[in-house]
Structure 1
Amino acid sequence: MPRSRTLPAELDPSARQLVARLRRLKEHSELTMRQLAAKTGYSAKSWERYLGGTSLPPREAVESLAWITGTDPVPLLALHEIAVDARDSRRARPGTQVQDQDQDQVQDQNQVQDQNQVQDQELVPDQDERRERDRELPAGPSAHPQPALRHLPHLALAAGVAALAVALLAALLLVVRLDDDATTAAVTVPPRTTVASPPPVYTCRITRTDGRWSAGINKGLDTEIGYGATGADVAEAQCLLRRAGISPGGIDGMFGPLTLRAVKTFQQRAGLVVDGMVGPRSWKALRG
């Protein structure tokens, strides 16, 4: 991927930082897209999307790129986790808007019901008064309590419906507020960070004892190692490759692409089978 290609403007800052670091690892390893696909198991088109910022790479792809380039994967995986959290938070926001719309609809319906109830309350006394006038009941002590008793069921029903509407509205407001608080908390939670132990430091102390070269790291062992191996045996081989005039990259104890290329160059120069594995014959030639 060319370096001049800019990342999308809408890309999240954490995802932008992750993609930038993945780009640097790819450029430093000098791997083509096809070689990157062959070593990681993800297609070249997928890596074009990952490194172009149009698609967030899976966790396994990030870890694979770190291992094949000889890089500590822990900081990259921490950045990937932050980017995933930010992406999930953005996806959760439209749901809150839908709840707000539903709340507005419920409030409108409650307002219409309250207006109808008020109208019913205003009409009931008028109908009762008309009935009383039509009947022309005589005024007396027993004639006055009857209209008041007939009004009580209507007033009680209206009051109960109004109280129910207020309770429903309060419950909806509480649910929406809790959802807003949960969404805000999900966005503002500080990213989880993982403290990675510092990688070991290896120092080449080239000596020659009994006609054999040694870097003084793995105590003269000739353990067979290959691509992806780590530890003191790899650091020993890297020191001996450097003594032979072939650069394996850094003396970091990680059998990555640069070390693999150095081993194959040494094997070809020494007339050995060029398989990229440091076995008994390659160790013997290195220590020769």
Structure 2
Amino acid sequence: MPRSKALPAELDPSARQLVGQLRRLKDHSELTMRQLAAKTGYSTKSWERYLGGTVLPPLEAVEALARITGADPIPLCALHEIAADTRDRRRARAVAQPESTAQPREGQRQQEGEGEEEGEEEQPAKSAGPLPEVPATPVALTAPPATGPAPGRAPHIALTACVVALTVALLAALLLVLRLDEDGTPAAVAAPPRTTAASPPPSYTCHITRVDGGWSAGVNNGRNTEISYGATGADVAEAQCLLRREGISPGGIDGMFGPLTLRALKTFQQRAGLDVDGMLGPRSWKALRG
């Protein structure tokens, strides 16, 4: 069995422990990635990311792996909840950090703009010369001409608006990257576990009878096709029924040549004095049918 790749160094301890448990269940059950995808409804590429530690698997995928391997799902679900909570807190901090750094900069630029504006208003007073003498005769007072906004205010307002727009664009890009980075949905070619009820896998029923002096389960019309580990279909279901008749449990009668069926076949071959190769060939079929 190929050795698993090392997990990313930045993976938090709870997620690292969860992925380690999932890897052990998969290795112990001797499931290939393709068989794991077929039994859980999640694609092979998704399971490679889940077991590689690059993406936190959905809770439904964790429950599906526990179900097909016969493991207790409660500890795995608890680890998943802790890992998901840690991931959400990290994302919240990553989103809040750009906002907190943008506000002081905007305030600083506004204060600088106000300071320059005040300096421009005070400048004429500093450069004014001595006051003229008041004439003895009354002089008609006229209102001062209206003045527009300070010449330095408009550029600072435009600069502040540019800073705010840039901050909003950065936040939107960050949220988009985080959303694209997360792959928590099953592949389009496989239905999620909660919707598999609409298209259930084929079911097989054992009807053990004697046909032409040999045993038959009535599933594959008496064929003796050579099959091996990883095969699926009616031939596998026929062999599972006959193994159960011999008192050896192959697991469920599901038509999938998995680890339990392989173990049951090897037990039968050893008991019957055959080559224990885990392949159901002509001699093993003949012994099964009696």
Tell me, yes or no, whether TM beats 0.5.
yes
Deviates most, 203-212 or 119-128: 119-128
Aligned to 1:200: 202
Aligned to 2:250: 248
Q: Decide whether aligned partners of structure 1 residues 167 and 247 sit closer, same or farther in structure 2, where only a CA change above 3 A counts.
A: closer
> For each residue in 1:108-165, what CA deviation from the matched residue of structure 2 results, as whole angstroms up to 9, or x when unmatched?
32133123213312322203423xx38x6999xxxxxxx979x87xx55223234224
Task: Confirm or deny: 8 A CA contact 2:117 2:150 kept in the other structure.
Answer: no
Q: Does 1:163 align with 2:163?
A: no
Aligned to 1:92: 91
Specify which of 258, 261, 264 is matched with residue 259 of structure 1: 261
Unaligned segments of structure 1, at least 5 residues: 1-37, 140-146
- RMSD between aligned residues: 4.6
Query: TM-score when scaled to structure 1?
Result: 0.62
Query: TM-score when scaled to structure 2?
Result: 0.61
SS of residue matched to 2:41: helix
Task: Confirm or deny: 8 A CA contact 2:117 2:153 kept in the other structure.
Answer: no
Unaligned segments of structure 2, at least 5 residues: 51-55, 60-79, 136-143
Deviation at 1:73, TM superposition (A): 1.7
Counting only pairs closer than 5 Å after superposition, residues 1-288 of structure 1 correspond to structure 2 as 38=1, 41-42=3-4, 54-55=16-17, 57=19, 68=31, 72-74=39-41, 81-82=57-58, 90-130=89-129, 133=130, 156-168=150-162, 170-172=164-166, 174-175=168-169, 178=172, 194=192, 195-196=195-196, 197-288=199-290
Deviates most, 88-97 or 71-80: 71-80
The one-letter amino acid paired with 2:108 is Q
Percentage of pairs with the same residue? 41
> For each residue in 1:43-89, what CA deviation from the matched residue of structure 2 results, as whole angstroms up to 9, or x when unmatched?
8x98xx9xx8534539x959956773987221696996436995765
Deviation at 1:271, TM superposition (A): 1.1
Q: Decide whether aligned partners of structure 1 residues 185 and 138 sit closer, same or farther in structure 2, where only a CA change above 3 A counts.
A: farther
SS of residue matched to 1:68: coil
Task: Confirm or deny: 8 A CA contact 1:208 1:214 kept in the other structure.
Answer: yes
> For each residue in 1:189-235, what CA deviation from the matched residue of structure 2 results, as whole angstroms up to 9, or x when unmatched?
x9677233312111001111111211111111111112222211111
SS of residue matched to 1:57: helix
Q: Decide whether aligned partners of structure 1 residues 280 and 191 sit closer, same or farther in structure 2, where only a CA change above 3 A counts.
A: closer
SS of residue matched to 2:58: helix
Task: Confirm or deny: 8 A CA contact 1:92 1:183 kept in the other structure.
Answer: no
Q: Decide whether aligned partners of structure 1 residues 62 and 138 sit closer, same or farther in structure 2, where only a CA change above 3 A counts.
A: farther
Distance, in Å, in 1 between the alignment partners of 2:215 and 2:168 is: 76
Aligned length: 230
- Choose between structure 1 and 2: higher helix proportion: 1
Task: Confirm or deny: 8 A CA contact 1:204 1:215 kept in the other structure.
Answer: yes
> For each residue in 1:81-104, what CA deviation from the matched residue of structure 2 results, as whole angstroms up to 9, or x when unmatched?
436995765543333232123212
Distance, in Å, in 1 between the alignment partners of 2:157 and 2:107 is: 16
Q: Decide whether aligned partners of structure 1 residues 63 and 75 sit closer, same or farther in structure 2, where only a CA change above 3 A counts.
A: farther
The one-letter amino acid paired with 1:73 is T
